[in-house]
Chains A and B, each alone.
Chain A
Amino acid sequence: MFKALMSQVRTIWTILQHSFTRAETVQYPEQKPYLAPRYRGRIVLTKDPDGEERCVACNLCAVACPVDCIALQQGVKEDGRWYPEFFRINFSRCIMCGMCEEACPTNAIQLTPDFEMCEYNRSSMVYEKEHLQIEGTGKYHDYNFYRVAGLAITGKDKGQAQNEATPIDVKSLLP
């Protein structure tokens, strides 16, 4: 009984000592918290180092998305590249899980450390491709999908990609 009482007194004393410790609060709108570079916030579409859009409209992000907030349609340019004719993310559904970024084979879709995207109008939360597309390369500066992929496009035939051997003509008997 006495021990229990002393424990309460000690608790009060400990709390009283907290009069002299600083508050842990981050005063948010004036004082921004540090967000890690890999923080999962607003989604962007990046471009490769040559300034072409990275997205090849493979739909893997739309498949990976657990809340089905990504919609896109694939189109083909004259040079053989694939690209999204439209790319739409409904951020009122998005849960910032980052599955799309993990699924993306070309590092095109990336999450950024920005979460301040409140709107008064719900339809303003639907971002189209022109809202999502940024000019930079995002987190991966050197990566260019078409330079390492085997797909033939204008100006780059089969076997001309990095680390790629020229294709073997299996129908020829010549050594």
Chain B
Amino acid sequence: MTELGTISFGLLIIFAAVGGAAVLTWFERRLLGVWQDRYGPNRLGPFGVFQVAADMLKLLTKHDWVPPFADRLVFVFAPTAIVVAMLLGFAVVPFGPDLYVLDINIGLLFFLGMTSLAVYSVLLGGLASNNKYALLGGLRSAAQMVSYEVFMGLSLMGVVMLTGSFSMRDIVEAQRDVWYCVPQVLGLFTFMIAGIAESHRLPFDLPEAEHELTAGFHTEYGGMKFAMFMLGEYLGLILICCMITTLFFGGWLGPVLPPVVWFCLKVFALICFFVLLRAAIPRPRYDQLMSLGWKIMLPLTLFNLLLTGAIALWMEG
């Protein structure tokens, strides 16, 4: 691709991702409604799809308020960090055989780095608010991210081992025969759980835990700053789904339909599954979350790593 083509494709990805995240707020509420035997927002426009616009207008017209006791600079900066980090993460996602912004030989590491950067947003937001609930939320998110980051990276090493490359394109190409969700089922399981924790979505949304910490790290946030946090969360959800698709479900690979359509379909199915997890599973207690991470998921990941390594060595002869 030419330089101009890459830039315009990058912009397209940004608009598609942000637009997708906005529509996802409505879609998720409708889907949750289906599973909870109610309708969700269905008043505005066909199937209530204009609810997105209504929410946006409301958030835009809200008073942009910074609490007098907050650390002003950090308080304003924090919400942007998560959006920027998550959007940068989309750069390495291959949407098709030649539909990507950049294909670097450490694509996977770049993605892991960007999702880790997003932690700063939550942490700084909680710290700069100068509010006890927000601080507790930030504290929790820091601990949660640290413990889930560990096996998030390790769970992908099985995939890397089988492919022999960190490049996303190579990983997809290596799944021509069999998708990695079959040989790497343990890796998929652990990565999925780490991904939910990483984007702090509902079963693992302890940083905001609204019935313990009012709204956790974004207690003091309102208007568009709050919207940025939400946007970052939904972008994170889409990004994690893109990653799971690429790493475990063969990315753009699939018969008949064009590659991009296959990719989008897989991502869509995964998003629905994540919403289902939100609808079904209650939030664990904080210590349960930590012990799940360190006592179960980490050993499981290490076991997977050892097993994959042994089999890979054995196959080589």
Contact = CB atoms under 8 A, between A and B. Distances in A.
Interface in B31-45: 33-39
B38 A12 contact: no
A16 B276 contact: yes
A23 B279 contact: no
Give the interface size bracket for A toward B: 10 to 19
B33 A15 contact: no
B277 interface: yes
B35 A18 contact: yes
B281 interface: yes
Interface in A1-43: 1, 8, 11-12, 14-16, 18-19, 21-25, 27
B37 A18 contact: yes
A12 B280 contact: yes
B185 interface: no
B301 to A, nearest CB: 15
Contacts of A16: 35, 276, 280
B36 A1 contact: no
A98 to B, nearest CB: 30
A151 B131 CA distance: 70
Contacts of A22: 37
A21 B37 contact: yes
B296 interface: yes
Contacts of A11: 280-281
A12 B36 contact: no
Contacts of A1: 296
A24 B37 contact: yes
B276 A8 contact: no
Contact of B35 (A8, A15, A25, A27): A15
A72 B296 CA distance: 72
B38 A23 contact: yes
Given A1-B296, A8-B281, A12-B281, A19 B35 contact: yes
Residue among A8, A15, A19, A21 having the largest count of chain B Cβ atoms under 10 Å: A15
A12 B281 CA distance: 7
B296 A15 contact: no
Nearest to B36: A18
A11 B279 CA distance: 10
A27 B38 CA distance: 10
Contacts of B280: 8, 11-12, 14-16
A170 B263 CA distance: 104
A14 B277 CA distance: 12
A12 B277 contact: yes
Contacts of A18: 34-37
Contacts of B33: 23
B35 A12 contact: no
Interface of A: 1, 8, 11-12, 14-16, 18-19, 21-25, 27
12 contacts: A11-B281, A12-B280, A18-B35, A18-B36, A19-B35, A21-B37, A23-B34, A23-B39, A24-B37, A24-B38, A25-B38, A25-B39
